[in-house]
């Protein structure tokens, strides 16, 4: 199926929505709570890292045993080490700053954000948001010192890290405001934000990511919060389960899509628009089902056991 000549393009802002939500959650869950930077960082480490390391190790094993099955990576010991250590390093297969497990590039930002935010917990709460804002803005300002796009400096100074800040400020405003939202206005804002994410990065590719994707993502979250405050968000167990399994889905979907795509091509060697639509719908269902299985059998047991977090809570 060719790309249609249209004003609307495939949205690419899922990561940006994730970062805005991440900033919102970090501010909400730490507000009014006393916790040390070390305890905060180790809890977040335990929540994120084990499952990611498990998938990265699986990816490495497949690459070593059957390299023909891995199209997005080539073995490079430094790249492998950087992938496990959350250090941005050029992928030898693509040349971009992506780890062995491609979605892990976002986790490099998330771990960087956790590290900075854990240090910010040393700042008094009433000054923390302004101080942290100044820190992130200063880091992004260092972008002018970056000699090339594919360097650790250019990676960490990207405006995308300001999306965490948008989420934090949105949370601070949401908790303090007496806003009584109009559900219709919120729905219109939500639709407009979705359209903006689909249009802005393609029509104006030179716009900083914080403007083309981060700001619409923040508006989208604000509109969703308004709908929730207005009592217009349905409570559905299926949606809650999908949300719970979202991290497993995020990490596993490239591997599942690759395996399922190869299997599909063997079954259907020819191609057509109908088969492409059928593949897309079936692949989404398979990815979701696999993610739910992984969540229930691997991720949830890892998180609920949390021996490190329990030890920290006992202190």
Q: What is the pLDDT along the chain (315 residues), one digit of tens a residue?
A: 333 334 344 557 889 999 999 999 999 999 988 889 998 999 899 889 999 999 999 999 988 898 777 776 788 999 999 999 999 999 888 888 999 999 999 999 999 999 999 999 999 999 999 999 999 999 999 887 766 667 888 899 999 999 999 999 999 999 988 878 889 999 999 999 999 998 898 888 888 899 999 999 999 999 999 998 888 887 878 888 999 999 999 999 999 998 899 899 999 988 888 888 999 999 999 999 999 999 999 999 988 775 554 544 544
Look at residues 23, 160, 43, 164 and name the one whose alpha carbon lies nearest to residue 105.
Answer: 160
**Residue 253 within a domain:** yes
**Residue 89 within a domain:** no
CB burial readout 14-30, b (16+ within 10 A) else e: ebbbbbbbbbbebbeeb
What pLDDT, on a 0 to 100 scale, did the predictor assign at position 11?
54
What pLDDT, on a 0 to 100 scale, did the predictor assign at position 6?
40
Look at residues 162, 75, 73 and name the one whose alpha carbon lies nearest to residue 112.
Answer: 162
What pLDDT, on a 0 to 100 scale, did the predictor assign at position 237?
80
What pLDDT, on a 0 to 100 scale, did the predictor assign at position 8?
40
Quote the domain boundaries for residue 273: 236-315
Total structural domains in the chain? 1
Query: Residue 288 CA to chain centroid, in angstroms?
Result: 17
**Residue 249 within a domain:** yes
CA distances from 2 to 6, 21, 138, 175, 232 (A): 12, 33, 43, 46, 38
Look at residues 263, 260, 262, 268 and name the one whose alpha carbon lies nearest to residue 284.
Answer: 260
**Residue 250 within a domain:** yes
Dihedral Cα 113, 70, 294, 307, nearest 10 deg:
-50
Look at residues 167, 164, 275 and name the one whose alpha carbon lies nearest to residue 221.
Answer: 167
CA distances from 154 to 72, 128, 143 (A): 22, 26, 6
**Residue 108 within a domain:** no
**Residue 278 within a domain:** yes
**Residue 132 within a domain:** no
Look at residues 293, 298, 292 and name the one whose alpha carbon lies nearest to residue 245.
Answer: 292
What pLDDT, on a 0 to 100 scale, did the predictor assign at position 33?
86
What pLDDT, on a 0 to 100 scale, did the predictor assign at position 306?
55
CA distances from 59 to 55, 84, 100, 107, 249 (A): 6, 12, 7, 16, 16
Task: Give ∠ CA 19-51-73 in degrees, rounded to 5.
Answer: 80
**Residue 198 within a domain:** no
């Amino acid at each position: 199926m060719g790309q249609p000549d249209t004003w609307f393009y495939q949205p690419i802002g899922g990561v940006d929505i994730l970062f805005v939500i991440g900033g919102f959650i970090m501010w909400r869950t730490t507000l009014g709570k006393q916790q040390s930077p070390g305890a905060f960082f180790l809890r977040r480490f335990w929540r994120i890292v084990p499952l990611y390391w498990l998938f990265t190790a699986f990816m490495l094993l497949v690459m070593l045993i059957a390299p023909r099955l891995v199209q997005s990576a080539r073995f490079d010991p430094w790249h492998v080490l950087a992938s496990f250590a959350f250090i941005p390093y050029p992928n030898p297969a693509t040349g971009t700053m992506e780890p062995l497990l491609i979605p892990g590039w976002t986790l490099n930002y998330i771990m960087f954000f956790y590290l900075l935010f854990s240090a910010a917990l040393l700042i008094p709460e009433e000054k923390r948001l302004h101080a942290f804002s100044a820190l992130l803005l200063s880091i992004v300002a260092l972008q002018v010192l970056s000699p090339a796009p594919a360097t650790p400096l250019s990676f960490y100074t990207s405006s995308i890290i300001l999306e965490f800040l948008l989420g934090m400020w949105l949370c601070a405003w949401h908790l303090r405001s007496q806003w009584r939202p109009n559900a219709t206005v919120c729905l219109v804002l939500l639709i407009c934000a979705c359209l903006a994410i689909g249009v802005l990065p393609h029509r104006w590719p030179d716009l900083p990511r914080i403007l083309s994707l981060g700001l619409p993502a923040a508006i989208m979250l604000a509109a969703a919060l308004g709908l929730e405050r207005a009592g217009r968000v349905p409570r559905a167990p299926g949606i809650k389960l999908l949300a719970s399994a979202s991290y497993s889905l995020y990490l596993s979907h490239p591997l599942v899509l690759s395996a399922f795509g190869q299997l599909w091509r063997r079954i259907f060697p020819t191609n057509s628009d109908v088969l492409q639509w059928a593949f897309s719908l079936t692949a989404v269902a398979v990815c979701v089902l696999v993610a739910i299985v992984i969540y229930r059998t691997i991720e949830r047991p890892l998180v609920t056991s949390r021996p490190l977090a329990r030890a920290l809570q006992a202190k």
